[in-house]
């Protein structure tokens, strides 16, 4: 099976699938057993498991090893959330693509975020980085879905017009899927989708967590990712329960814990 081709076929504008972002082997196996169509890593969720904050605090080797572990426990396509490609230069991005393919990933996402200050690469460099990633992906000899991200809206660094300028250039550079996380409104998300024939990814966190799949579909979205959302749901349960236990001696949150047998059954369920 060509895992990249299988992954590519899921990307249908107006008929989005959900990329279920997992943060460890257990969450990967549970999401697979529950019927996910594809798995994404999450840089934020992975950093949490290492006891670190997100954004530039995980090395490429660590991210690749983590992704390889996830690939090993699911039959589903897995896409790597690989920040800025773990380096500033176009060749850094190209090397990350090559290494990602070697460990069996079906695709990756690369941001225009400069991790030095959580700023953004100037326009020409941002485009050259995407061109290098696309070129490396085309040279792999197998299908591989390369997603180009314009993260300046989410990071509060530029507006939708600048994101669109970058996405159009990334489109022309050959990116397979385009992604500008968290535009200010659904109308702006529709503008992004209407600007290209390529699949567009939307992030279902923050205010967009209240948007249903049908509304994303009507906007023209092809893929809905969860980012660190599920990981942070788990963190919220831990934090809230532990606060009640350690501050108030109140153990009642544990009443809502998943039955151990249910979790164990999901962990051992056989995939395809």
Q: Retrieve residue 42's tokens.
A: 């999450």
Question: Residue 40: its pLDDT value, please?
Answer: 98
The list of the chain residues with pLDDT below 50 reads none
Question: What does pTM read for this prediction?
Answer: 0.96
- Phi, then psi, of 48 in degrees rounded to 5: -55, -40
Q: Which domains does the chain have, with CATH numbers?
A: 3-228 (3.20.20.60)
Could you tell me if 32 and 25 are in contact, meaning their C-beta atoms sit under 8 angstroms apart?
no
Q: Using N-to-C axis directions, what is the helix angle for 160-172 and 123-138, rounded to 10°?
A: 40
Question: Residue 272: its pLDDT value, please?
Answer: 53
Rounded-to-10 torsion of CA 220, 172, 101, 44: -60
Q: Retrieve residue 199's tokens.
A: 């699949």
Among positive and negative, which fits the CA dihedral 160, 133, 61, 46? Answer: positive
Question: Residue 56: its pLDDT value, please?
Answer: 84
Question: Residue 1: its pLDDT value, please?
Answer: 74
């Amino acid at each position: 099976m060509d895992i990249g081709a299988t992954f590519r076929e899921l990307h249908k504008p107006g008929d989005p699938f959900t990329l279920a972002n997992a943060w460890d082997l257990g969450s990967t196996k549970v999401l697979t057993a529950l019927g996910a169509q594809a798995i994404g890593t999450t840089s934020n969720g992975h950093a949490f498991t290492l006891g670190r904050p997100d954004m530039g605090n995980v090395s490429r080797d660590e991210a690749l090893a983590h992704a390889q572990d996830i690939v090993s426990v699911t039959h589903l396509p897995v896409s790597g959330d690989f920040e800025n490609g773990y380096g500033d230069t176009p060749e850094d991005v190209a090397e990350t693509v090559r290494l990602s393919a070697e460990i069996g990933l079906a695709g990756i996402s690369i941001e225009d975020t400069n991790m030095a200050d959580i700023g953004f690469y100037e326009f020409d460099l941002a485009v050259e980085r995407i061109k290098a990633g696309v070129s490396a992906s085309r040279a792999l000899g197998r299908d591989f879905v390369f997603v180009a991200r314009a993260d300046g809206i989410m990071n509060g660094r530029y507006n939708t017009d600048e994101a669109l300028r970058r996405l159009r250039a990334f489109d022309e550079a050959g990116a397979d899927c385009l992604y500008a996380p968290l535009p200010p409104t659904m109308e702006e998300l529709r503008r992004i989708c209407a600007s290209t024939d390529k699949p567009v990814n939307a992030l279902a966190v923050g205010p967009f967590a209240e948007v249903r799949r049908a509304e994303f579909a009507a906007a023209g979205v092809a893929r809905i990712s969860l980012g660190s959302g599920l990981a942070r749901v788990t963190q919220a349960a831990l934090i809230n329960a532990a606060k009640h236990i350690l501050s108030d001696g109140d153990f009642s949150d544990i009443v809502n814990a998943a039955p151990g047998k249910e979790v164990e059954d999901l962990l051992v369920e056989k995939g395809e």
